[in-house]
A = this chain, B = another copy of it.
């Protein structure tokens, strides 16, 4: 009110009409809320915001909400959304409303919770459609899947992880369900270490330093020196292996896909259950066909991978 009075006294041209007043109320409210937020926001966060005025937190929150889903979390209420995405309930409500209007969330009346819609796949489609590397690799991956009878995947690096962008499951059952977008750390996966084996040593060191070396199974490699040894061995052999380091009962071999500049752009892996294969068998029987596939996928369009 102080500011209204202030403007009234100081600006002689100031005129008020009820409709104008109403149309500005929303604007005044947004400023009041902004001030309140400034007051409540911890100094550290406020400084970060000040440092990067172009960064939009609403967009960050929207993705945090969508990524809060997955696995067992298929239907969430407002409280759960707020908790999972680390925001207040009222902030979650505004964001949920926007995502619902965009067709990315849907309120399921039966369970009285919000669920994701198939429209959430549109961004993945934007990434995958027309992707030269994926299109060229697909025929080779299908051949490898047929020849090995086991699950075959294509993955790409993202920070310290490998992200699965294609998956051809085994028709022999007992496979690990691995939808696209699943990410696994580089340091303890065959595909990750295969990718690292084709990188310059300094870059490998940089990635490993940033990786949190966690133990997923009793056989997960977490010793940096041992990991580097394995990467060096993989550089010699052209492929890398993993003995149940992420999932018990799963042995894997993987080879890097190279771009025209000789640098790696991803990895192909064969993943098999210990009920059907020993790691030694997998390496002796399938490593050569794996290497052939990686070479075939590396040539030609791999150079056009992003453009």
Whether the pair B122, A67 counts as a contact (CB closer than 8 A) is yes
Interface residues in A89-111 (C-beta closer than 8 Å to B): 93-95, 97-99, 101-104, 108, 110-111
* A307 interface contact, C-beta 8 A: yes
Whether the pair A165, B121 counts as a contact (CB closer than 8 A) is yes
Whether the pair B67, A98 counts as a contact (CB closer than 8 A) is no
- A9 CB contacts on chain B under 8 angstroms: 10
Interface residues in A139-155 (C-beta closer than 8 Å to B): 139, 142-143, 145-146
- A10 CB contacts on chain B under 8 angstroms: 6, 9-10
Taking residues whose C-beta sits less than 8 angstroms from the other chain, chain A's interface range is 35 or more
Given contacts A27-B34, A123-B124, contact A111 B307 (CB under 8 A): yes
- A38 CB contacts on chain B under 8 angstroms: 27
- A163 CB contacts on chain B under 8 angstroms: 118-119, 121
Q: In the A-B complex, list the 3 residue pairs whose CB atoms are closest, starting with the nearest.
A: A125-B181, A121-B181, A124-B124
Chain A residues packing against B (C-beta within 8 Å)? 2, 6-7, 9-11, 23, 26-27, 29-31, 34, 38, 50, 52-56, 58-60, 62-63, 66-75, 93-95, 97-99, 101-104, 108, 110-111, 115-131, 134-135, 138-139, 142-143, 145-146, 156-159, 163, 165, 168-171, 173, 177, 179-183, 306-307
Supply 13 A–B pairs (Cβ within 8 Å), ascending by A. A2-B11, A9-B10, A26-B50, A54-B93, A58-B59, A59-B102, A70-B130, A73-B130, A103-B159, A116-B127, A121-B123, A125-B182, A131-B179
